[in-house]
Amino acid sequence: MEPKSRNFVADSNRALVDPVLQGTLAKLAGGFPDARRDAVSRLPEFDALRDAARDIKDEVLDNLDAYLERFEERVIALGGHVHWCRDAAEACDVILGICRGAGARTVTKSKSMIGEEIAINEHLEAHGIEPVETDLGEYIIQLRREPPSHIIAPAIHLTRDHVAETFREHHHELAADRPLEGGDALLDEARSILRRRFLAADVGITGANMLVAETGAAVTVTNEGNAELTMTLPKVHVVVASIEKVVPTLADAVTILRVLARSATGQDISVYTTFAAGPRRPGDADGPEAFHVVLLDNGRTATLGNEFRDILRCIRCGACLNHCPVYGAAGGHAYGWVYSGPMGAALTPSLIGIEHAPDLPDASSFCGRCEEICPMRIPLPALLRRWRQRRHEARLGSATSRWGLAIWAFVARRPALYRLVIAAAAALLGLAGGRSGRLRRLPLGGGWTDVRDLPAPEGRTFMRAWRARNHEPLEPAP
Amino acid sequence: MSAARSTILEGIRSAIGGAGVAASGGRAQTAPSRARPARPVAAFVENAERAGCTVQRVEDVNTVPEAVAAFLARHDLGDAVRCAPEPFLDTIPWSRRSAMAIETGVVRDGDRIAITAAAAGVAETGTLVLSSGPDRAILNAFLPEAHIGILRSGDVVGSYEESWTRLGAGADGGWPPRTVTWVTGPSRTADIEQTLIVGVHGPSLIHVIVVGDEEA
């Protein structure tokens, strides 16, 4: 999909007044975060495991070329194929080539954020191959032609009624007057429709939560079981993954799995975790005849070499979305592309350019919850702050904010001037507040005063009040 | 695409300042305390039940047919059962329950119940470890409505790490299996209004029969 991230401000404002969206987002606040807290409380070593997980990924990133080569070597030894792709267009062409080689008419897909990133569905459709998403949430949004609004719960913005309406519109083969009330009925219908698609598919495309260099395995994590049916039933299995997904060993994968589901949904482990390595072996009772791994760069090597490298540790658990006040208010679609929430705000500018997402660094109150709960200890607020700096350097912000920052910087570097200006401003605002002590309008402060009053300062600064109280100049404590 | 391969690898090397080195050994890691339970079988049972499985312990293979029959009756699942072609499952005296129709092989669309043998059970989360192979069909754990996993009590281990050893990690030939799947509870989703529903693509019922007298 074309990124619409530059419309973040307008789209998030629209989201704030959408009552249906606000209703679905309200459920998020008490759901995943509470479940995560409970799961973490059952694992006293959780923080130590986060440190270990961070160290694993840092070591991988420091030696990424070597681990990718080891992974490739293992996959080839098992009879699989590895395809290196610099960008989305190359990856789409490789996958289309594999599908054509298999004479594919329909392709089942297990939810993949990389698949979203490269827009593989559109590419296959444009060339006459029908892709079918099999994760329930992803299937629903595919029918609706919407992007995912959450990394692990792509249809979180929809209600039961939306889903029923969507199924009635698309499942023509079923009686129009069938009852479709309640989640169970919707699920049964999706299950029976998708079961036929699974059995008919020629190629199965999955993402990968990790790639294990030691064994050449792609690791998938699901609760539904759709990844396993996607990779086992068709004659070709294609894994699409970005290059930073590699981990050295099975033991390392285990460490990361111990923090992944707990952070994501608050489960101790997801229902299904599958390590798939290579095609069917002689005598195997089931499995695909061919196994392909599509390795995607798409801007990662550049990120590896700059001050945004830490985002490459991300394991896409979605915890930062679940704990973010901005995501919780605006929802995922406002971010305008594939990734949302704090990790989306930090990653998207790397992948599509800050000039196409100039407001995403502002999608944070800097409350720090995202960093506090991130299983990979990614300093998300610091990354967003760096993006604000980059944006400023690229002269992308509004003229008002750039001038404001320049003036503030000038004053802040001169303590005497700073104190003078602040004292004058405090005195003026104190006067303007009058007896009510509140300001209803403030020049340049409309963002605040449009929706609430600003409490006026008392008239003097903290420094002056302190001095008056102690009758002496402010000195550092001994 | 070899041009792409070298561009990407060169890009990485220029970003990290030279060629990286893949470590030869694993790093020292300690499994969390819940992966080192004093009574692994008891911990396995507790965690598997928490994940939504039903678990039954039986003394030996002779009582398995009765346990399976009781499970089928409890959930009104009929009497046709697909059993994975594993040697261990062949040792079960199915004839003791002649009312059940046991067919051996890979599950087919329409089969309601399938039985697999688990390569291991992991106590830390109540996880069944399944693997692919000539006598092991991964699909048996995914296509039917109900999945019965037979687990020998001696194959219950504390941690995921130990389960790799059970599967033959490091051994020559056959390691690693093409597919290893961990199953922890029935298939589920919360994709519609964040409400949990079980039985999406995989089974809605998972019954684990633990065979043997460890910690009995």
The DSSP code sequence of A415-445 is: HHHHHHHHHHHHHHHHHHHTTTTEES--TT-
Phi-psi region for residue A301, left (φ > 0), alpha (ψ -120 to 50) or beta? alpha
Judge contact between A346 and A382, C-beta under 8 A: no
- Using a CB-CB cut-off of 8 Å, the residues of chain B touching A243 are 8, 12
Burial A42-51 (b: 16+ CB within 10 A, else e): ebebbeebbe
Among the partner residues A52, A224, A258, nearest to B202 by beta-carbon distance: A224
pLDDT of res. B172: 67
Judge contact between A171 and A189, C-beta under 8 A: yes
Among the partner residues B13, B161, B202, nearest to A65 by beta-carbon distance: B13
- Which residue in this structure is represented by tokens 């840092």? A58
pLDDT digits (tens, 9 = 90+) for A251-286: 999 999 999 999 999 999 999 999 999 999 998 989
**Closest-CA residue to B105 (of B147, B77, B139, B130):** B139
Most B CBs within 10 A among A22, A38, A61, A84, hence the mutation to make, goes to: A84
Mean pLDDT of A432-442: 85
- ipTM over 0.95? The verdict is yes
Judge contact between A92 and B1, C-beta under 8 A: no
pLDDT digits (tens, 9 = 90+) for A305-342: 999 999 999 999 999 999 999 999 999 999 999 999 99
pLDDT of res. A126: 97
Number of Cβ within 10 Å of residue A175's Cβ equals 7
Report the number of secondary-structure helices (H) and strands (E) in chain A.
23, 12
CB-based contacts of A178, cutoff 8 Å, min separation 6 = none
Phi-psi region for residue A113, left (φ > 0), alpha (ψ -120 to 50) or beta? alpha
Judged by CB atoms closer than 8 Å, whether chains meet at A250 and B23 is answered as no
- List, in sequence order, the alpha helices (H) in A63-104: 64-77, 88-101
SS (H, E, C) B46-110: HHHHHCCCEEEEECCHHHHHHHHHHHHHHCCCCCEEEECCCHHHHCCCHHHHCCCEEEECCCCCC
Judged by CB atoms closer than 8 Å, whether chains meet at B12 and A272 is answered as no
DSSP B3: H
- Using a CB-CB cut-off of 8 Å, the residues of chain A touching B182 are 269, 272-274
CATH H superfamily, domain A31-298? NagB/RpiA/CoA transferase-like (3.40.50.10420)
pLDDT of res. A398: 81
pLDDT digits (tens, 9 = 90+) for A356-371: 999 999 999 999 999 9
Degrees to nearest 5, angle at CA A389 with A383 and A390: 90
Judged by CB atoms closer than 8 Å, whether chains meet at B142 and A279 is answered as no
Decide if pLDDT at A477 tops 70. no
User: What value does the mean pLDDT of chain A take?
Assistant: 94
How far apart, in whole angstroms, are the C-alpha atoms of residue B101 and residue B81?
6
Judge contact between A137 and A153, C-beta under 8 A: yes
Q: Give chain A's radius of gyration (CA, Å).
A: 26
pLDDT over 70 percentage in chain A:
98
Hey, what CATH topology would domain A302-397 get? Answer: Fumarate Reductase Iron-sulfur Protein; Chain B, domain 2 (1.10.1060)
How far apart, in whole angstroms, are the C-alpha atoms of residue A213 and residue A72?
8
Decide if pLDDT at A12 tops 90. yes
How far apart, in whole angstroms, are the C-alpha atoms of residue B200 and residue A184?
10
Which tokens go with B88? 């261990």
Lowest mean pLDDT among A218-232, A400-414, B118-132: A400-414
Domain residue ranges in chain A: 31-298, 302-397, 400-470
Decide if pLDDT at A478 tops 70. no
How far apart, in whole angstroms, are the C-alpha atoms of residue A380 and residue A78?
38
Among the partner residues B20, B125, B135, nearest to A63 by beta-carbon distance: B20
Domain residue ranges in chain B: 37-211
φ, ψ at B213 (rounded to 5°) = -105, 10
pLDDT of res. A401: 82
Band of residue A431 on the pLDDT scale cut at 50, 70, 90: confident
Q: Burial of A179 by CB count in 10 Å (0-12 exposed, 13-18 middle, 19+ buried)?
A: exposed
- Using a CB-CB cut-off of 8 Å, the residues of chain A touching B163 are none
CATH hierarchy code of domain B37-211: 3.40.50.10420
Positions in chain B whose pLDDT score sits under 70? 1, 172
pLDDT of res. B135: 85
- Chain A, chain B: beta-carbon pairs less than 8 Å apart: 263
> Does residue B47 sit at the A interface (CB-CB below 8 Å)?
yes
Question: DSSP string of A403-418?
Answer: HHHHHHHHHHT-HHHH
User: What number of CA atoms fall less than 13 Å from residue A274's CA on the CB side?
Assistant: 30
Mean pLDDT of A240-249: 98
Judged by CB atoms closer than 8 Å, whether chains meet at A84 and B197 is answered as no
> Does residue B170 sit at the A interface (CB-CB below 8 Å)?
no
**Closest-CA residue to B113 (of B85, B140, B92, B144):** B144
Band of residue A475 on the pLDDT scale cut at 50, 70, 90: low
**Closest-CA residue to B180 (of A247, A231, A282, A69):** A231
Judged by CB atoms closer than 8 Å, whether chains meet at A136 and B200 is answered as yes
**Closest-CA residue to A304 (of A47, A67, A111, A50):** A67
pLDDT of res. A448: 83
Judge contact between A303 and A318, C-beta under 8 A: no
Judge contact between B20 and B175, C-beta under 8 A: no
Residue B168: helix, strand or coil by DSSP? coil
CB-based contacts of A270, cutoff 8 Å, min separation 6 = A221, A222, A223, A260, A261, A264, B184
How far apart, in whole angstroms, are the C-alpha atoms of residue B66 and residue B79?
12
Closest residue of chain A to B31, computed from CA coordinates: A255
